[in-house]
Amino acid sequence: MDQWLLRKEGFDPGDAAADGNRFLCANGYMGLRGVPEEAGRELFPAINLAGVYDQYGDRWREPVNAPNALWIGTWFDGRPLSVEDASPASHVTELDYRYGIYRRHTDFGPLRIDSRRLVSMASPHLLLDEYRLTICQDGELRVRTGISTEIWDINGPHLFDFSHKTGETLRTCCVTGEKGIRVAAAQCVDTDWPAAEEQTRGGDGVFRCFRRAVRRGEVWTFRVFASVWTSLDTPEPSEAARACCLQAKAEGFAACLESHRQAWERIWARSEIALEGDGEAALALHASQYHLNCIAPRHADRMSIPARGLSGQTYKGAIFWDAEMFFFPMFVYTQPEIARSLLRYRIATLPGARQKAAEYGYRGAFYAWESQEGGKEGCTNFNVVDVFTHRPVRTYFRDRQIHISADIAYALWHYFEITGDRSLLKEGGASVILECARFYLSRANGHLDSEQVDFADVIGPDEYHERVSNNAFTNQMIAACLEYALRLKEVFADQPDWFGSLLEELGYEADWERLPDLLRRIRPPREQGGVLEQFDGYFALEDCGLDTVRSRLRDPREYWGGDHGVAGTTQVIKQADVLALMALLPERFTDEQVAASWAYYEPRTEHGSSLSACMYALTACRVGRLEEAWRLFMKTAQIDVLGGGKQWAGEIYIGGTHPASNGGAWMIAVLGFAGLRMRGGRLTLHPRLPRQIKRLSFPVTAAGRRYRVEVTREGGTVVPL
């Protein structure tokens, strides 16, 4: 088995959405969905742009898909050759995970197409396609290359006022409807085609057309160079796109490809996990790391990663807690500059978090549940549609998932602990932690007849149970946030004047005195037989199995949670909640508590989110449930190899790649199976390898140094590089 290659034979239009995700090419600036070059809107093609948002009418705001600058179509004897309409004799799609190269091999009978394309990791605005045609019978061939404006949008359209230019470099310019952001795409071609080309422009884009009589045995190659820029990048995006294409053409396809390969080699040198013992697991681990590495914002220093990466407009292209809980661990241990970018995004969006808190009548920083540019809250009050009435259902994700601020404080603190670098704290991170703690001071619910305080009317990670009180995850993450805030004084003990000035600047003197009191009064989780109760009253809910709850569905697309969901009045939960807490804050719980809670909650968990299985796998490693850990690892790591995960929440499409699972696979392998920990400035290992793994080897970076970790069944070593 090739541990770096995803391969699929045949074409089924019903798989187009899933295959577009699985065969994605991306470089952090943009993502190119894995569909054939000739794909029209019905096959969901897209060049998805990071950080460019637009709202059409009263529909959801979402990221913008650019004009398709790598569109190529072929006709033979006047007949269009398309995988969807022409019934090819064979069709194979491949994705090379090591170098992020999409390949397709299609036999249409009269000719065969072999292409390879990529989104350059060496040049963030550049896309490349080498399109080779092998002629299998005499006839007339027509090839059309250009920029298609037939754009697939979920909640669009988003681009208007199209204009086109012909010449050596074709260009399309347009603007977004909401903010007037200019988007420009360019394309030029290098080919050995001997006939003159024709150029056209119109409502569907701008194209060049090559036409001539061909004979059997001839081979014609088109090397296509495309580029996308916006006015967020440069004042003249059209000229920048043109120049980028011409420079790439001058360098040549082979040189551009080699630069791209070298860039990927540098990434793998810092992050690759080598797994010996199971070929399918090794492939899945490479796939997971590829999908997370290819969407990392290497072109920016304060940008984060959407929940569905750059695979499309699902989840509004928003930044969720996934960034801190699931993406951050791999990057902080392999490429800390990317982890820093994720956190600098949160520092930059602190004003938006303060504004959101104020809108709800609180002080401090209440971060957006679905964060778009500037920290703008993208989450609406109606996130689900009832499949029976077709009416929007009121949900409370934006209002009640208050753990988001503590999650961000958690990542900031762990960045400092793992890297030993306190500069990020000094450059705004400390302010974020303090303002998050202030929000919880403001949000806490006190009682006249009790010393304890509650955090009532919240939602934990388990979204099937809304508006609960004292969710264990939420309370304990808040407690951790308060502890981090108080420990900042120790971190800056050698700079007391600076820290004092920060408190004064934030107007924090009175709140600083209140933090220890709130920390002392937070209600600890209740226990029953060693099992932590997920929230007040959870144990009193109907205790029934997953199959029972599933049998109550009248439509497979029904949303399980909320007021009318089939799971809301039962103990069946969507995803890891108590066990997520135990995975993130392991030092707070005994092995006995983890074992008891794991045995209780896992059978009651639907794993209805791709964020769930990895948390159960991590805690399974801790308590010696290695077969279960392995099963959940494979479920996590294979999600973008096999395709899977939920595609619908009510009538809302939620498909796409699964970066949280991708990060989760790294977490299981490194933090679970290898047992890597950073404590007191030292890396330690506590290996718990399942029987399927003979050896794990991977690089890590900690406290400014690089190491090579080797783990076998005999033990593990950490060697400085």
Please name which of 199, 197, 210, 170 lies closest in space to residue 186, comparing C-alpha atoms: 170
Q: To which residue do tokens 């072999």 refer?
A: 114
Distance of CA 717 to the CA centre of its chain: 31
* Position 719, amino acid: V
Q: Using an 8 Å Cβ cutoff, are 412 and 424 in contact?
A: yes
3-state SS record for 38-81: CCCHHHCCCEEEEEEEECCCCCCCEEEEECEEEEEEEEECCEEE
Domain with CATH 2.70.98.40 in the chain: 5-270
Tell me what pLDDT residue 368 has. Answer: 98
Listed as ranges, residues in the chain with pLDDT below 50 are none
Q: Angle formed by the axes of helices 626-637 and 613-622, to 10°?
A: 150
Report DSSP state, residue 615. Answer: H
Tell me what pLDDT residue 647 has. Answer: 67
Q: Tell me the pLDDT tens digit for each residue of 477-507.
A: 999 999 999 999 999 999 999 999 999 999 9
In which region does residue 258 sit, left (phi positive, over 0), alpha (psi from -120 to 50) or beta (all else)?
Answer: alpha
Tell me what pLDDT residue 193 has. Answer: 87
Tell me what pLDDT residue 645 has. Answer: 64
Q: Using an 8 Å Cβ cutoff, are 38 and 74 in contact?
A: yes
Average pLDDT, the chain: 95
Q: Using an 8 Å Cβ cutoff, are 309 and 656 in contact?
A: yes
Tell me what pLDDT residue 644 has. Answer: 62
Please name which of 642, 647, 655, 634 lies closest in space to residue 281, comparing C-alpha atoms: 634
Q: Using an 8 Å Cβ cutoff, are 699 and 708 in contact?
A: yes
Please name which of 85, 20, 83 lies closest in space to residue 47, comparing C-alpha atoms: 20
Task: Give dist(CA 237, CA 54) in Å, integer.
Answer: 18
- Among the four given CATH numbers 2.30.30.230, 3.40.50.2300, 2.70.98.40, 1.10.3720.10, the one describing domain 5-270: 2.70.98.40
CB atoms under 10 Å from CB of 113, counted, come to 22
Half-sphere exposure of 277 (CA within 13 A, CB side): 16
Q: Using an 8 Å Cβ cutoff, are 218 and 135 in contact?
A: yes
Q: Using an 8 Å Cβ cutoff, are 223 and 117 in contact?
A: no
Please name which of 247, 222, 339, 293 lies closest in space to residue 25, comparing C-alpha atoms: 293
CB atoms under 10 Å from CB of 382, counted, come to 11
Nearby residues of 457 by Cβ (< 8 Å), 6 or more positions away: 400, 467, 468, 469
Tokens of 666: 């790294």
- Among the four given CATH numbers 1.50.10.10, 3.40.47.10, 3.40.50.300, 3.40.50.2300, the one describing domain 272-720: 1.50.10.10
H or E element at residue 398: helix 397-400
Active site residue ranges? 463
Half-sphere exposure of 252 (CA within 13 A, CB side): 3
Q: Using an 8 Å Cβ cutoff, are 175 and 160 in contact?
A: yes
Half-sphere exposure of 164 (CA within 13 A, CB side): 20
Q: Give start and end residues of each alpha helix (H) in 208-278.
A: 237-251, 253-271
Tell me what pLDDT residue 89 has. Answer: 95
Cα–Cα distances in Å, from 350 out to 51, 53, 81, 355, 435? 17, 19, 52, 9, 9
Q: Using an 8 Å Cβ cutoff, are 401 and 339 in contact?
A: no
Supply the pTM of this predicted model: 0.96
Q: To which residue do tokens 């997370």 refer?
A: 292
Domain with CATH 1.50.10.10 in the chain: 272-720
Q: Tell me the pLDDT tens digit for each residue of 672-707.
A: 999 999 988 899 999 999 999 999 999 999 999 999
Report DSSP state, residue 280. Answer: H
Task: Give dist(CA 330, CA 291) in Å, integer.
Answer: 12
Task: Give dist(CA 104, CA 92) in Å, integer.
Answer: 6
For 35, phi then psi, to 5°, come to -125, 160
